[in-house]
Structure 1
Amino acid sequence: MKSIKLLAASLTLLAPLAFAEVAVVVHPSNNDTLTSADISRIYLGKLKSFPGGSPVVPLDLKEGSDIRSQFVDKVLNKSESQLKAYWSKLVFSGQGQPPKVVENAEVLGLIAANPNMIGFMDAAAVDASVKVVARF
């Protein structure tokens, strides 16, 4: 009985982590409106600039991150392995390079310092140094 209570308590504590909201963020000066299709195209290397014309530099998180897994599933409509295969094909054929991979803690600082960057993060960690353009 004690082990069941411990398991239930553990699952209750971990549940919010599994359902964290993903926020897509840009520099506060960026006034472009982005659809989920735009965001997907940026992260798949099909769109190289924001709708306003300025170049876009997407930031990615390390493979295996919960936030990244949710982003890949909800926004890119792919599994982690499908995304890896997608980028392997483009890199091998010389048709593209995947987004720059950074640590979770770096996203805020990099985007706050560069108006051309776009990234995604746990919505709970967003502050006034960036602007949220989408939530998933």
Structure 2
Amino acid sequence: MTRLSKLFRSHALLSLAFAVLTSAHAETAVIVHAGNNTPMDEDAIAKIFLRQVKTFPDGSVAAPVNQREGATSDDFRTKILKKNTSQFKSYWAQQLFTGGAKPVQELDSDDAVLKFVAETPNAIGYIDASKVKGGVKVVAKK
């Protein structure tokens, strides 16, 4: 192996390691409409997303939105809902089978969730924390 190919290989491995480390440390932000002043803890957030309650702690109706499968939704389920993907799917299968709660609406991306929450006064969603912009308020970050 030439010195140049060894250098290239080392650079590629370092780049890959950096990508894995930075993605592992990405934060997920739970966001609400900027006008929502209801304080919430992780337990209240989890209950809203699992449809165990349909309101914010102040009694106003909550409109939660999930993201389709991906790193952000995996992060949210693990850190906030305390469920892995398998447990989450099993939970919703059981809910549907028993006639319990219906799954939360899903949107395609951070941008779609951000737009929905910014435009919907009773919305709550989650996005990659680095993508938070105006029109929303962060109520939890992990």
TM-score after normalising by structure 2: 0.90
Cα displacement (A) at 1:44 = 1.0
Counterpart AA for 1:97: K
What is the Cα deviation at residue 85 of structure 1?
Answer: 0.5
Equivalent residue for 1:27? Answer: 33
Query: What does the per-residue CA deviation read over 1:3-24, in whole Å, with 9 as the maximum and x for residues that have no partner?
Result: 2331122221342223211100
Given that residues 18 and 66 in structure 1 are in contact (C-alpha distance below 8 angstroms), is that contact kept between their aligned partners in structure 2?
A: no
Q: How many residues are matched?
A: 135
Of 107, 123, 128, the residue aligned with 1:122 is 128
The percentage of counterpart residues that share the same residue type is 35
**Residue number in structure 1 paired with 2:49:** 43
Larger Rg over CA atoms: 2
Gaps (5+ residues) in structure 1?
none
**SS of corresponding position for 1:59:** strand
1:113 maps to 119
Runs of 4+ in 1 over 4 A off after TM superposition: none
Q: Which residue of 1 aligns with 2:91?
A: 86
Matched residues in 2 for 1:90 and 1:9: separation?
43
* TM-score, normalisation: structure 1: 0.94
State yes or no: 1:77 paired with 2:82: yes
Q: Partners in 2 of 1:8 and 1:109 — Cα distance?
A: 36
More divergent stretch after superposition (4-13 vs 51-60): 4-13
Alpha-carbon shift at residue 75 of structure 1 (Å): 0.7
Aligned-partner residue type, residue 113 of structure 1: E
Deviations 1:50-85 (A, max 9, x none): 11111111100112x111111101111111011001
Matched, 1:99 2:104: yes
- Unaligned stretches of 5+ residues in structure 2: 1-5
How many Å apart are 1:133 and its aligned residue?
0.7
- Larger proportion of helix: 2
Secondary structure of the structure 2 residue equivalent to 1:13: helix
Contact 2:46 2:80 in 1 (8 A): yes
